[in-house]
Structure 1
Amino acid sequence: MKRRIGSNLKRLLVMSMMTWISSFAYSQFAFNLPDRSNERIHNYSDMGVEVSGKLALCSHSEKGNIILNVYGGRPPYSYKWNTNETTQNRSNLNAGTYTVWITDADGKTLEKSIVIQPPFPLLLNPVEKREASCGSGNDGYAKISVKIGRNDYEADSPPYDVTWSNGLKNVWEASNLAPGVYTVTVGDKYYCETSISFEIKAASEGLTLSETIQNPSCSSEQTGKISLNVSGGQGPYTYKWSHGPTSSSLENLAAGIYQVQVQDTKGCSIQASYQISAPSPLAISESISQPSCEGNADGKIELQIQGGKGPYIYKWNTGSSSPAMTDLTSGVYSVLVTDASGCEVQKQFNLSNSSTLQVEVLEKKPVSCSGQPDGSVMLGIKGANGNISIKWSDGKTGGEKRTDLASGTYTAEISDDSGCLVTVSFTIDQNPTLRAKIETALEVNCAEGSVAGVAWVSIEGGVEPYQINWSSSDNSREISFKESGKLKVEITDALGCKTTAETNVEIPTSTTLGSRIEFGYRKLTISSEPEVRVKEEILFESEIAPEILSWTWEFGDGTSSSEKNPIHIFQKEGTYEVTLTGYDVFGCTAVETNTIQVNAPEEMVVIPNAFSPNGDGLNDTFLPKLKGVSSFTLEVFNTWGEKLFVTESLESTGWDGTYRGQLVPPGNYLYRITYTLSSSGITHSRSGGITLIR
């Protein structure tokens, strides 16, 4: 529905819009309204452009966008906008006119102007409505209309889009409305929308129904019930059921659909429909496998239950309570099935057969040690009805006895003229392959330096007892040997299967008995003092014969080392026995032991009180004599406190009586020395005077 308004109001709105446009930030653009929101321009017969996007603004906070789809001409295309942009598509646009020049690869140019419409009000008139007569009635009415909108001012505009919350589309009025809240949304040609909500009230309270339904428990019963409870409206209430009764409750109902109309004294009514559902009839279907042969317990009955209400209870005449019976012989079987509602169904089954065919394996022989297919089997067959047929799993047919079998598992299917089929499976074994291996060991007497060999044979497979034949004419599992050479043994098992094994053995000509192992030790720090002091690094140097493969040092203080030439520090004074033990390939040992005396460090600090740096080699520098000191600092000052010399090196030669390369005059000077004792780590400081003599 399009709504028209008077010319005076229209003129007033247009003037108001022109005033708003003149104040807009992008007033330099002209607002030319196109005939259509999406039109195709054909300036050239071979090039055109389709324009889409958001070409109208619904509010001042929105931005528009333009999407171009160029066709014809020869790609690629270039773009030049009146705002100096060069992209194909534009976004984040204010209202206004945007012109683009599109140039193809041949230099042909297409000009297109696109308008982004400014916001335009979309206002609705107040809703015209009529309330529903009852809360449960559907006779309410509502009508909406547009007060002002864009579609009414632009020529050839389509109708407004109207959407009701109850599903109605593109209508301005609605009837048959139930009490409740409704919302109607109206959209203009540019998809700008506005909504209005309203409520349809009821002149009186509506009727509501609640029900209690009881369904029949079994398909054939008429035990259904419906009980109604009415609220709302104004009582008393009248009831009218589709099949005649006028009461609020029904009993003894069969399965079916029952409809009722309830009316109060004011004439308000409500209708409802109820379904009484009975379970589908309880029925049994079965899958039966007859016993294959007389006496065979391989028959099977499997039940499938239809209808009723699970779970189901099964009661067989055999006492079983399972839905499937297996391992059955011929005979009559019956079952009673009861569902969760107590409904029952019963059925009987007859299993039969006509053959007493029976098969058994009378004897079988494994494959011999040769590994050839010489295994055999003998079947025993009895009770056949007519002729028998035998089919072997290796493809052979016939024959109750087979003598050409390789090791493996076989199946024979035996059937008679009645169709009875009996299957028997068996395995033809192969005796484990006879294997033998010679293993050896050497017995070494380290004290005597003698070596003797022992050899024994390990046997696998075959069948015991075994016969053992060594090349040395021995017949026991284990033998001794004293010379290098080749050993060979032959094994024969209880079935006569044979195997041989051989190996080369070597008797060493000597052991490390008497092998040389020696060691010495020395200080790592060069010193004129031969004594070993506590916390000094001691290097142990060994001489070890090549036949000795590994060694161990024991330093007598609870520590050890596996290095060939270890460095060790003794932490306490005392006498220590240091032992070097070597091991050869046979486990024999060679031992060397030395005793080391470790003394406590001797500490001494002697400071001379004069020196004469005259180059005669005697007392030419000033340097304290230190012993048992781990670090020190020497400083020399003149009598005014100026520092002339400093050193922290224990290897320093001392002060030579110069300062900055110049000789200082003879006289008195001051020194200060700070040193740390090696034994205790305590630092001391001493100072005093020194006389320089020239």
Structure 2
Amino acid sequence: MKKSVKFSWSFCWLLLFLGAATCLVAQPDAKKKPKQEPDCSYNAFHAEVAEIGTSEKGCKIYTINVTTDGGSRYDLSHFTIELPCGSVMNVSNSRNWKVETGKDPTTGLKGFKIDDISSFGKSLGDSFTVEYTICSNDNCDERPGVVAYKFGQCVKYENLIYKDDDGGGDDGGGDDGGGDGGGDNGNCSTLLASLKETPILCYGLSGASLEVVIESGNAPFTYSWSNGATGALLQNIIPGTYAVTVVDADGNTLTLNSEISQPEQLIISETVQHPSCNLAGDGAIMLSVTGGTEPYSFLWGTGSVSSNLEGVNAGVYTVAVTDAAGCSIQKSIVLTNTIQINLSATTIRTACGQSSGAIDLSVSGGALPYTFFWSNGATTEDIQSLKTGSYRVVVTDANGCQSIGNYFVQENSDLRIAFAVQKPNCANEPTGSIDITVTGGVGPYAYSWQHGPTTEDIEGISSGIYRVTVTDNLGCAALATILVQKNSLQVSAQVAQPMCANDSNGSVSLTPTNGASPYTYEWSNGTTDSRITDVPEGTYTVTVRDASGCSVTLTYTLTSPNSITIAANISNGACGADGSYKVNAVVSGGKPPYQYLWSNGQTTSMLSNLSAGTYQVQVTDANGCKAVKEVEIKPESFSWTCIIEAPINAPVCQSVGNNLSASIQNASYYSWNVTSSDNSWKITSGANAGTVIYSAGNMGSTATFTLTMMKDGCTQSCSYNMEGSCDVRDNTGGGDPNNGDPCSEVVVNENQKTVSELTADEKVTEEEEVEEEEVEEKDSANFEFVAYPNPFEYSLRFEWTADVDDYVRLEIYDQHGRLLKEVYAGSINAGEKYHVEWLRPEGKEQLYFYRFTSQKQLLRGKVFSKKQ
């Protein structure tokens, strides 16, 4: 085994690879001896440069392959590469392990490390790759040299192996990579930095921060964050991923990334044990808390600090849970009795002044037998011989569970109490009153208020519930319960919005009620009156206060209309003819309806029959707001012409699926029409498309196709005459031209502007074509193209040869003009023969069309399939 020697490396220790005379300075460090660890004697890991590329900006792209021979006792935990200078970016690895840049405190190397590596080291042949980009100036050799491996408690170093050398590696022991032995002879600069994170403590809050900590580089530094910030410190940020690009004074660039996370939301889940009945004390609540940061503390409304609450009765229990970070959540939990004793009663009124009333009680639920205790001392279920008044009963079942009922026995009297309430002011001062009116019975009446007075009416009261018993001269009584509420200060407003965009003529006028005058007003714009006027759009807040100190704060939003915007659409259906232009003013914003006034005196939104020139329109909306637009009509010349492309071959009589195409395929409107001498020619589809599909007529007939199309507001018409009747020959062919069967072959000569259709016997020989190639100019192409057999059963073969290099596309369409297949698309070489086969879809007999397109030619034809 080699003896480990620890070195102190200079800052630019790899400039030697770029031709520097002396930049690699290494001196043995006699003061430090390598640490000897029995379990760290063997290094199973090795790193090699697999590939070096160059980015568009001239930066180097390194691919490092890290392998293990499977002999390590421990798995690799992190892998560090030292970068002597330059700025590193786009660091990644094939296992998606964590990446950190800057100085590695474990190995002492400055560069970057792959951290949190798992399950790597004990399997023979296992490997992963690391890729990064490093940019540097002319005085810096960014080539990496030293790597470090951390496994178990061991740290091993070695020189990185390059394919063109042996790496000069040491035995992997020794240097911690952190020292700089001095003696630098280069002027390299390194930009190294890290991100210091202040995390979010509680779910749903902000307050996190990221700070760039510069470890190496030349000031000043500039910062560019992914959220637009430009400082070294990013504060009060929410969870998410943030990136910052740091540039130092030497132009070195470094990109750092960090993900700000937050704790999971605190959630309280409970398991409840409802008490059996009231006062049983056998209820319980067991809590389970998730999220936040453990441990948790608990505080119940009862004072308990335990996570569980036991031995409680029915009721509402509130608990506050606080985690270790100080985040808290509160929840209220309701316990109800599982055993319910239900009481209902029928009361019998007493005669006026007599003891003839009764209460008939009914009980259900609980466990028999029941015991009864009434407020008048009775212990029976029902009570009789009752005077007018209130009665209370406590019912207890065999288990000790109780239920309480309260009942009132009324007199059988016609005493009636009506009342009028004067509410106290909003401050609830004793300024209210109750005025009662009694009817029925026999006067005079006696009054008994629950809070003491014996007068008919009461004054000087605050809000609350008041009860009065009225007794007539015969002893008959009536009870009235009266709710008195305090007044609340009410404010109504009349709001006038600004009339036009950017106007300052809005207003808000207030009218307070139910308060004590005088009133004061405090507006957010400083006004102290009940009304603000001549204000622009915006939000205005006002506090209204009455003489008793009651106040209410209100907010009003004024919004002005959007600015009036005028767009002018210019059209010319007569293809640029003077006096045929139209202008349509399209208005948005403001408040409809709109009024129009043109410079020529017209008052409509659209002007017609205009010549080229300048026109002005003024638009006035319903609020009287105005906008003006100047419209310039420039003379136009339309560069397109309606043309129907002539077919290569005349259609076969009574055939279907024939097509004609317009010379322009991107018009906005098409309309095809056909007339024939015997009305036998028909359009079958595409009457409003760029290509029309038609069926040919009878032998001896002629037809005229007319096309009307519109493009760029211009409408033109053109026609094409099918003269000389239709082609009645059978040109379906039988098969391969090399075996004597006739087939359809189209030869196009662009130089001579001729199109000819040849049989196999008339085919141009290859010798003739080659001879022709030598004299023809190459700005056009001559194609020899054939499709056979025609008709065909299942497979159709296409063959072609061109005399120049070209790019071609071969497409198959059905009889309705729909694309079925792109059979071929690609470049071809001059003089080479190409062939391709097409397998038709299964089905009935059908006519197909092929379209062969090159950069210089367009060939079309049709083939027919027969039953298989």
TM-score, structure 1 normalization: 0.33
TM (norm. structure 2) is 0.28
